[in-house]
Structure 1
Amino acid sequence: MTGLAALWGVGRLPYGPGTWASLVALAPGAMLLALGGPLLVAAAALALCWLGWRAVSVLPDEAQQADAGWIVVDEAAGQWLALAGLGAVSLAGILFAFLLFRLFDIAKPWPVSWADRQVGATGIMLDDMLAGALAALALILLRLLAPEVLP
């Protein structure tokens, strides 16, 4: 389960493993979006969240309590959820989804900050899922308010 928690080594990269995990997640997430649309990518994000929760929940308590930096499956699941806010695949949309997810994940506005204070596998997964949900909501609003920027 450690392999999934670390996205098979991505979490062991020396600088910004969470950012790398988000970048790595973009290709399969965009493929899911292209193949089945926002509902498929959202369902895949929830499935990855559940699998990630299971993987993290069997890790030693010290890794869970500290939200060890090498645990990055949460970033991938959150990034996929952010992509669910897009109507279709576009380079601009993927870039906006990435930037918004990383912004909400790093800045941790409420309720992300609340979830970040929760302990164990639930807290580890929940803060990134909430960051992804906020990014998806921002993308939906951007699509509605400025369709010329993000169709």
Structure 2
Amino acid sequence: MTASKPQPSLAPRRASAAFMLAHPAHAIALGFGSGLSPFAPGTVGTLWGWMSFLVLMHWLSAAQMGLLIAGGALVGWWACTTTARNLRVADPGAIVWDEIVAFWLVLWLAMPMGLMGQIVAFALFRFFDAAKPGPVGWADSLFKGFGWRGGWGILFDDFVAAFCTLLVIALWRFFA
């Protein structure tokens, strides 16, 4: 009779600064540390996305920002897939790259707007992302699990939340 090899623990891992620095995908998926917030990491990640967009818009043209968002979505798909697998959680709260790139999309398409408009966009996006009403809830349930499908699912519901945010902003602008 042969002794079986001990299996590694499949318990979920906790995101930490050391975990984030262990792999470039972790740093990206955890929003360069914003996802490590002990309180509301999705909100902190969205704030990081907002602030970084405001900085980047001074250096990048609209077309370059669009390319950054598209590239960020593709790189984020890899980073979210890898980080979720390494954390052993299908959609960990510490992964905030989905909020960052989706909120970049909102700002890219809705700008220019003043501070109050940006605050409204932020609040709407956070509502749709957190409460997951209607199409956002549907999108959240569509791609679950690990691997590339699950990694895409981490991003997809935030893109739908961004679409819902942009729809409300467009209606607001049309009827106001």
| 1:139 aligned residue | 169
CA distance in 2, matches of 1:128, 1:64: 21
What code does the residue aligned with 1:58 have?
Answer: T
TM-score by length of 2: 0.72
| 2:134 aligned residue | 110
Deviation, 1:84, is 3.1
Change (3 A) 1:68 1:107: same
CA distance in 2, matches of 1:139, 1:42: 19
Change (3 A) 1:88 1:100: same
Aligned with residue 156 of structure 2, among 114, 118, 126? 126
What code does the residue aligned with 1:61 have?
Answer: R
Change (3 A) 1:60 1:81: closer
1:78 aligns with 2:102: yes
**Identical positions, percent:** 34
CA distance in 2, matches of 1:58, 1:70: 13
Q: 1:83–1:136: 8 Å Cα contact kept in structure 2?
A: no
Unaligned runs of at least 5 residues, structure 2: 1-24, 145-149
Can you list the C-alpha shifts for 1:44-72, whole angstroms capped at 9, x where unaligned? 33322221111112235374753011111
Matched residue SS, 1:70: coil
Q: How many pairs does the alignment contain?
A: 145
Matched residue SS, 1:69: coil
Change (3 A) 1:81 1:125: same
What code does the residue aligned with 1:18 have?
Answer: G
Deviation, 1:8, is 1.4
1:22 aligns with 2:52: no
TM-score by length of 1: 0.83
Q: Which is worse superposed, 105-114 or 3-12?
A: 105-114
Q: 4+ residue stretches of structure 1 with deviation over 6 A?
A: none
Greater Rg by CA: 2
Give RMSD over aligned pairs: 2.2
